[in-house]
């Protein structure tokens, strides 16, 4: 696998290193050893598949707070999505910055999303399917979200916004003070939240 650093601290776009012969190809898409060598959370405990019917549909922006903050590793199996992550860690050098990447069935790229990053994606085609591994189980009481159109982040979604869940439409704009307090227990030693 080839790990490409993004502009966000600890987030990587992961490219499978394909080996081809007359039978077709083979590529490793996940390896705990290679994740661990980069300090990434490699203890994935749950695997999910998400299918989306219509292009333009948007899911997100989701994250979980301590003690169930989760890393994610996302890949597109069918179609294409524009995948976006936002660094919400107040101690990070890339705090409040976002990054987007197109994940498609053809480019076979994946994205590693560190804990305490908001994550969402927009379907770029009809009949899309993505898969993602997560390092903690989904915990409804600790799930949080931010608005897909929060002006603080000014995410430029490639298509007009189509279908969204009621829950995703109800997320509020990001409040750094409230979020920082919730994340305090995950902060590196010596970090003090700016209240």
What digits encode the pLDDT tens for the residues 123-159? 999 999 999 999 999 999 999 999 999 999 999 999 9
Q: Confidence band (pLDDT; 50, 70, 90) for 193?
A: low
Mean pLDDT of 2-10: 96
pLDDT value at residue 184: 80
Q: Does residue 194 register a pLDDT over 90?
A: no
Asked whether residue 190 is domain-assigned, the answer is no
Based on the residue annotation, tell me whether 119 is a catalytic residue of this protein: no
CATH code for the domain of 119: 2.60.120.10
Q: Would the pLDDT of 195 be above 50?
A: no
Given 4, 62, 95, 138, the catalytic residue: 62
What is the span of the domain harbouring residue 143? Answer: 2-19+26-184
- Gap between the Cα atoms of 94 and 36, Å rounded: 21
Of the candidates 131, 117, 11, 134, the one whose C-alpha atom is nearest the C-alpha of residue 72 is 134
Cβ atoms of 64 and 70 within 8 Å: the answer is yes
Residue 194 lies inside a defined structural domain of this protein: no
Q: How far is CA 132 from CA 21, 54, 161, 170, in A?
A: 28, 20, 22, 24
Task: Output the pLDDT for position 65.
Answer: 93
Tell me if 193 is assigned to some domain.
Answer: no
Residue 132 bears catalytic tag: yes
pTM for the whole thing? 0.91
Count up the domains in the chain and report the number.
1
- Does residue 88 belong to any structural domain of this protein? yes
Q: Residues, the chain, total?
A: 195
- Give the span between the Cα atoms of 195 and 91, in whole angstroms: 14
Longest dimension (CA), the chain: 61
47, 132 Cβ separation under 8 angstroms: yes
Tell me: pLDDT of 51 over 90.
yes
Taking 50 as the threshold, does the pLDDT of residue 58 lie above it? yes
Q: Are 194 and 91 in contact (CB under 8 A)?
A: no
- The structure tokens listed for 148 are 């897909």
Active-site residue (options: 63, 73, 112, 132): 132
Alpha carbons 3 and 37: distance in angstroms, whole number = 11
41 Cα distance to chain centroid: 13
Across the chain, what does the average pLDDT equal? 93
Closest CA to 1 of 77, 73, 97, 95: 73
Residue 174 inside a domain? The answer is: yes
């Amino acid at each position: 696998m080839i790990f490409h650093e993004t502009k966000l601290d600890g987030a990587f776009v992961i490219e499978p290193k394909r080996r081809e012969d007359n039978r077709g190809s083979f590529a490793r898409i996940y390896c705990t050893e290679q994740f661990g060598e980069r300090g990434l959370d490699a203890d994935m405990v749950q695997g999910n598949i998400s299918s989306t019917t219509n292009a333009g549909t948007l899911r997100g922006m989701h994250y979980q707070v301590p003690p169930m903050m989760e890393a994610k590793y996302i890949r597109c199996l069918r179609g294409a999505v524009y995948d976006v992550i936002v660094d919400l860690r107040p101690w990070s050098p890339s705090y409040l910055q976002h990054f987007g990447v197109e994940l498609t069935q053809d480019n076979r790229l994946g994205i590693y999303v560190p804990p305490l990053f908001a994550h969402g994606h927009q379907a770029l085609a009809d009949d899309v399917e993505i898969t993602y591994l997560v390092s903690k189980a989904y915990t409804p009481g600790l799930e949080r979200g931010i608005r897909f159109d929060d002006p603080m982040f000014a995410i430029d979604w490639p298509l007009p916004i189509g279908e969204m869940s009621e829950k995703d439409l109800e997320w509020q704009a990001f409040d750094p003070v409230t979020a920082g307090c919730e994340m305090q227990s995950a902060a590196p030693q010596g970090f003090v939240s700016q209240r």
